[in-house]
A and B are shown apart, each in its own frame.
Chain A
């Protein structure tokens, strides 16, 4: 009873509402500063997100969405390369492309941001192995990230750039799977909903159409998966077939049974994807291999997804505080 009474008394004080308003304003200001002031890994303005969420299969085509690439971007476009990130931590992000990245993973297509600094493109994730001729390892136990910027050789850290969230490449699949992830019930304000799924690699004889079937939607953690598969023949011809069944489990893992991986149709591929959290960090569970949970400080140089939520909270507190003060009568003097 005393507690309720105290709360009631507190609510009747203008000072309490004033404090709430001030706190809200402070949060808004702090979020703005964190967003704009350089020096934070995520405060450079550039960020990239990957969909679907990791882990990936060898050769899997994912959608890379970027924003904030507004200043100093020449018409040469953007480069995307795979870099190692031991443990998937921000502390272990590479500082030198010669020792931390493999140039053979560079995107083949032209990626140019629009006038707002945004872009969406596809990128084929690769398993990398030093034993197989690569300079770094990216597999089911070695985390990697994508570096996106202008010039990896001369402006790796000094020019506009962003690192993606860390990921693992779980299996040496022979299928290229294109998947689009959306979050219909909103998991994070930074989760994007890319729609472009055209693979960048085509053969002289075919094109790779965008496929939108089958689609499965579940409740949170929700993943809407659009699956198609690109199959390669040894002669270099590429055929694309759509179909297969997609099921989504409660844990958010998605099993995609799609078309064949060799010249002839047949066989199947399992693609595992964790829930699209949009947090930019969770390694998620795996359907194709063991995924270790990285340490809490994940590598991700985009703005923290929680930042807009915090700002919204601050704004709401300011508003509530303001209203509270206005509703209460001024104390008589």
Chain B
């Protein structure tokens, strides 16, 4: 009897316990799934959140200008669902709330939690200029020698009245080793591209083309170095057809390039060309350029070699030398010019500060300079043109032949376009069709479009596909001679945490399927931000995205997330000393090294203190500090941790 009571009570207690457990589990689960996400840790890898809105500015590359605008927009719109801002702060909403109040159910703790705003700076456009501005090595108003975020500067917004911040440089070329802050620069390669040359094989202007530039009574001195215009104009009042398609005097001005099979032995026609050979031009179309042969290479002779023209040597300045390949002439550049019928090659004078120009110079090599010695002195008035846009030649042609009218103007403008050689980002070429189109008058009150067509380089065509094993992916495997990486470049000694978060956000694709778990879904589109970043880079802008997860046998893994060195636990320092010692060492194998500018924190270290070693010298067991308050307290066996230089300054 007594046992039965005990059993009943035990059973009742057990039932109650199970019911309570079940209710707790159910309610708990419900609460967990419906509640807001916990507020993220501040100042930690990989987001480096600071808990407050900030503004960033980048500058530099034209090639990546539009892409960064778009990526910045994606990042900023994620901030709509960032932390809950503190209305009571001064200024209002200048910091995030903390603790449980920091987030609500819709908070996105993975994408721009801090409400960062980004300005895609213009300034003096070009990768080289962006790096100069990052280093404070370009004059006002974009640098003025002042490092806004340098070790000794004040916070942006207080001293930035005279200059604009450059938190990181957009760059379509690698780090410029001539810059004074080169040692502190770190390049994050987040995309790949290539730079083919382009010509205009379909520019079929109405004849005759006079080529008299601007003023018929005072012709321009020359269209191109070494090929002076005559008194009758640069084309000597002769007809100019689509020279890049192989047009030669006597051909119809609407002739087309022959297909490759008709030029099987000619290196200039390795691929099928436009229009399938209907109404064929008699010359060899220009569909390939080569840099083989140093200063005697076809490419170098076109852009750089100023010596007198000879067989296999000197300048190539006439289209007939490229396309009139007959008889004993077998190499492009050795064709015979046409008597009294000059066909000058117009080398566009591309922005010398451009990373695209730098890439092309690297291809030309042999000491060619960024002003391209053989650039046209007439096209665009001889002024620099921007990279990656053929449409601008519409304005150039209209300006260069403003004195013409009617059919003469149409012929002159068409002749200028037809005679142009230019180079362009393959990503821009593929993704922005408008960037390939030049619109000029048709001679009867209307207009006509001519399209740029890219060439092969050294027999290789630019392809943007991703594969370690397929030969056709020539940008990925670097077979395309001007394959290049697109970078965001920051300074390790000044990079702000918010800038690091944005740069990391672009690079971060680690883990899992596509890395989607590292980013949230964009409430505005329903698509995960990671996928949106990829489609922005690859589909909207035609490049190849590189991430921290990229792995290949071709070195396409240049986008590691910004991190800091791990803490040391055996730090010793004396009162008033500016050095800290560690027996275990500050650079541990396989870990991010300590770099100048890192924020140093520890129990007995005044705040803030930064690593002040010259770049590259933090290699062993001693670091030097610079602190805003003097004198470090004595410490031994202390734990010292590192963080990015300043969360807010």
Contacts and interface: CB of A to CB of B under 8 A. Distances in A.
A203 B459 contact: yes
A152 B461 CA distance: 21
Given A109-B461, A236-B471, A75 B202 contact: yes
Interface in A143-168: 150-154
A153 B474 CA distance: 23
A246 B509 CA distance: 43
A105 B460 CA distance: 17
Interface in A83-127: 97-99, 101-106, 108-110, 112, 114-115, 119, 121, 124, 126
B451 A75 contact: yes
B472 interface: yes
B534 A135 contact: yes
Interface in A212-265: 230, 232, 234, 236, 238
22 contacts: A58-B470, A75-B202, A77-B274, A98-B536, A102-B538, A102-B539, A114-B276, A124-B470, A126-B465, A126-B467, A133-B534, A133-B544, A153-B431, A153-B433, A154-B434, A201-B460, A202-B456, A203-B471, A203-B479, A204-B458, A236-B460, A236-B477
B538 A104 contact: yes
Contacts of A71: none
B276 A202 contact: no
Given A109-B461, A202-B270, A174 B469 contact: yes
B470 A103 contact: no
A133 B202 CA distance: 36
Interface stretch (B127-135, B211-219, B380-388, B545-553): B545-553
Interface in B432-480: 432-434, 436-437, 449-451, 453-454, 456, 458-467, 469-472, 474, 477-479
A140 interface: no
Contacts, number: 164
Contacts of A232: 469-471
Nearest to B541: A103
A99 B535 contact: yes
Given A106-B542, A203-B479, A236-B479, A130 B513 contact: yes
A59 B542 contact: no
A74 B462 contact: no
Nearest to B456: A202
B170 to A, nearest CB: 20
Contacts of B472: 59, 108, 124, 176, 199-201
B469 A110 contact: no
A201 B527 contact: no
Contact of B451 (A77, A176, A204): A77
Interface in B494-551: 509, 513-514, 527, 531-532, 534-536, 538-542, 544-545, 547, 550
A76 interface: yes
Interface in A246-297: none
Interface string A299-323: 0000000000000000000000000
B278 A114 contact: yes
Contacts of B104: none
A63 to B, nearest CB: 13
Interface in B543-566: 544-545, 547, 550, 553
B272 interface: yes
B559 to A, nearest CB: 12
B451 A134 contact: no
B366 interface: no
Given A106-B464, A204-B458, A176 B550 contact: no
Contact of B433 (A126, A132, A154): A154
B432 A153 contact: yes
B469 A104 contact: no
Contacts of A108: 461-464, 472, 474
B605 to A, nearest CB: 43
A8 interface: no
**Which one of A76, A103, A115, A232 has the greatest number of beta carbons of chain B within 10 Å?**
A103
A130 B547 CA distance: 13
Given A75-B451, A176-B471, A103 B545 contact: no
A193 interface: no
A235 to B, nearest CB: 9
Contacts of A234: 553
A131 interface: yes
A110 B463 CA distance: 12
Interface in B185-219: 202
Given A153-B539, A153-B540, A201-B463, 19 more contacts: A59-B470, A74-B451, A79-B430, A79-B433, A98-B539, A103-B535, A105-B465, A108-B464, A110-B274, A110-B454, A114-B278, A126-B467, A150-B433, A174-B469, A176-B472, A196-B272, A200-B271, A202-B461, A236-B474
Secondary structure class of chain B's binding surface, majority of residues: loop
Contact of B278 (A115, A174, A201, A207): A115
A104 B274 contact: no
A198 interface: yes
**Which one of B513, B539, B540 has the greatest number of beta carbons of chain A within 10 Å?**
B539
B433 A151 contact: yes
Contacts of A132: 466
Interface residues of B, number: 61
Count class of interface residues, chain A: 35 or more
Contacts of B531: 99, 130, 135
A133 B451 contact: no
Contacts of A207: 270, 459
Contacts of A77: 274, 451, 453
A120 to B, nearest CB: 9
Contacts of A110: 271-274, 453-454
Contacts of A230: 471
A97 B469 contact: no
B513 A131 contact: yes
Nearest to A132: B466
A154 B275 CA distance: 24
B378 interface: no
B260 interface: yes
Nearest to A199: B472
A102 B470 CA distance: 17
B447 to A, nearest CB: 13
Nearest to B427: A103
Contact of A99 (B436, B437, B451, B527): B527
**Which one of B479, B509, B542, B544 has the greatest number of beta carbons of chain A within 10 Å?**
B479
A164 B527 CA distance: 26
A113 B559 CA distance: 41
Contacts of B479: 203, 236
Nearest to B204: A75
Contacts of A135: 531, 534-535, 538-539
B530 to A, nearest CB: 9
A99 B532 CA distance: 8
Given A109-B461, A203-B460, A174 B545 contact: no
Contacts of B536: 98
Interface in B256-278: 260, 270-276, 278
A143 B541 CA distance: 24
Given A115-B278, A201-B461, A126 B470 contact: yes
B471 A201 contact: yes
A130 B469 contact: no
B511 to A, nearest CB: 11
Contacts of B434: 154
A108 B514 CA distance: 26
Nearest to A103: B539
Contacts of A98: 532, 535-536, 539-540
A199 B472 CA distance: 9
B276 A112 contact: yes
Contacts of A198: 260, 272
A75 B514 contact: no
Nearest to B474: A201
Interface string A161-202: 000000000001010100000000000000000001011111
**Which one of A99, A130, A201 has the greatest number of beta carbons of chain B within 10 Å?**
A201
